[in-house]
């Protein structure tokens, strides 16, 4: 513990001089990086627009109020589509995510040198690409509509659910698996009776959690043409119909809050 001699007085310090200088230097580097990044952003910003922003915001706010509630009647069908995109997308993702998770888990993978890295690669590439990018790609490949949106949601969800699921599989109690194996069960029987009952609660939790996220994501897929309520949002924005935008945003907010509430309830009931 470094102690500084100040005349007669001994003063305790947390770090000695060199260590303290190094810490300050790190702070300096951090601040310099931030300032540089901020400088770049500032360079590519038209500050005139930013000074004008409060007026613009007030203007948009003024146009958006009162909301045109009669528009709500045209929104039920897109909302139904949006929920379907999220739900069917989650279900489709599970069909692929479960086998991938079993291939990726260290204790269940049949082949550590080839299949496990392959499964991990599937998980990583599915996770790193945002569902909007998947939707963009699918709209350009199979055409616009909720089918493209569903596949996009499914592709994005595979990585997420498979990752959480394989971590759950790796944390199971090996004794139970051993007990089932000792009875002479085949590999498939071990999975069904030894592993699945142990991961079932985690699995259900992961599914509703992802479903909740997917509701949120499917509301914006329409912006790139993949169907749902985002399509209405895009067209309302294009014609600057701000009262309609208010209605759509409120509906999205309500849908997201309800889905979050449902998912929290279900997870609470399981755990």
Partner 1 sequence: MISNPALRYGLLLGTLIYLYFAVGSYDVNWSRVYEGLDRGWKFIAAFSHPDFSTRWTDISEGLWESVIMTVTSTVAGIAISIPIALGAASNLAPKPVYLLCRGIIAVSRALHEIIVAILMVAIFGFGPLAGFITLSFATIGFLAKLLAEDIEDMDRTQAEAIKATGAGWLQWINYGVQPQVMPRLIGLSIYRFDINFRESAVLGLVGAGGVGATLNTAFDRYEFDTAAAIIIAIIVIVMALEYTSSIVRARVQ
Q: Is the Cβ of residue 80 or residue 114 nearer to partner 1 in the bound state?
A: 80
Minimum distance from CB of 217 to partner 1 (Å)?
7
What angle do the packed helices 146-170 and 115-128 form, to 10 degrees? 130
**Residue from 203, 235, 207 nearest 86 by CA:** 207
Contact call for residue 147 and partner 1 (CB under 8 A): yes
**54: its two tokens:** 């409060």
Phi, psi torsion values for 4, nearest 5 degrees: -95, 135
Rounded CA-CA distance 235/144 in Å is 15
Minimum distance from CB of 6 to partner 1 (Å)?
23
Minimum distance from CB of 7 to partner 1 (Å)?
27
Is the bond into 233 cis (omega within 30 degrees of 0)?
no
Minimum distance from CB of 221 to partner 1 (Å)?
9
Rounded CA-CA distance 184/190 in Å is 9
Helix, strand, coil percentages for the chain (3-state, nearest 5) = 80, 5, 20
Range list of β-strands (E), the chain: 3-6, 9-12
Contact call for residue 80 and partner 1 (CB under 8 A): yes
Interface characters, 18-57, with partner 1 (x: CB under 8 A) = ---------------xx--xx-xxx-xxx--xx--x--xx
- The site that binds partner 1 (CB under 8 A) totals a number of residues, namely 56
**Residue from 253, 224, 244, 259 nearest 68 by CA:** 244
**239: its two tokens:** 């014609």
Interface characters, 217-256, with partner 1 (x: CB under 8 A) = x-xx--xx--------x---x-----------x--xx--x
Q: Is the Cβ of residue 105 or residue 146 nearer to partner 1 in the bound state?
A: 146
Interface characters, 103-142, with partner 1 (x: CB under 8 A) = ---------------------xx-xxxx-xx--xx--xxx
Contact call for residue 266 and partner 1 (CB under 8 A): no
Furthest C-alpha separation in the chain = 83
Minimum distance from CB of 222 to partner 1 (Å)?
10
**CA angle (176, 177, 180) in 5-degree steps:** 90
**179: its two tokens:** 């007990």
Site for partner 1 in 182-221 (CB under 8 A): 200-201, 204, 216-217, 219-220
What angle do the packed helices 76-104 and 196-218 form, to 10 degrees? 140
Minimum distance from CB of 8 to partner 1 (Å)?
26
Which parts of this chain interact with partner 1 (CB under 8 A)? 33-34, 37-38, 40-42, 44-46, 49-50, 53, 56-57, 60, 80-81, 84, 87-88, 124-125, 127-130, 132-133, 136-137, 140-143, 145-147, 150, 200-201, 204, 216-217, 219-220, 223-224, 233, 237, 249, 252-253, 256-257, 260
């Amino acid at each position: 513990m470094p102690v500084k001699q100040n005349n007669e007085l001994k003063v305790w310090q947390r770090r000695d001089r060199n260590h303290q200088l190094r810490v300050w230097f790190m702070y300096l580097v951090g601040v310099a990086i931030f300032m540089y990044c901020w400088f770049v952003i500032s360079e590519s910003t038209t500050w005139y627009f930013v000074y004008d922003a409060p007026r613009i915001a007030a203007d948009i706010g003024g146009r958006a109020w009162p909301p045109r509630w009669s528009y709500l009647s045209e929104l039920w069908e897109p909302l139904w589509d949006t929920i379907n995109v999220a739900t069917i997308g989650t279900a489709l993702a599970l069909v692929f995510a479960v086998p991938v998770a079993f291939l990726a888990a260290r204790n269940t993978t049949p082949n550590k040198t080839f299949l496990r890295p392959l499964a991990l690669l599937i998980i990583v590439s599915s996770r790193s690409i945002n569902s909007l990018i998947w939707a963009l790609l699918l709209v350009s490949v199979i055409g616009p509509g909720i089918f493209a949106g569903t596949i996009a949601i499914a592709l994005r969800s595979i990585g997420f659910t498979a990752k959480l699921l394989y971590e759950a599989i790796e944390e199971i109690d090996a004794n139970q698996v051993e007990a089932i194996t000792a009875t002479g069960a085949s590999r498939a029987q071990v999975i069904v009776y030894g592993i699945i009952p142990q991961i079932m609660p985690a699995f259900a939790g992961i599914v509703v959690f992802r479903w909740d996220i997917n509701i949120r994501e499917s509301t914006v897929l329409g912006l790139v043409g993949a169907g749902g309520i985002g399509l209405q949002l895009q067209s309302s924005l294009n014609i600057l119909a701000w009262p309609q935008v208010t209605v759509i945003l409120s509906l999205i907010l309500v849908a997201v809050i309800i889905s979050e509430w449902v998912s929290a309830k279900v997870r609470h009931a399981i755990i």
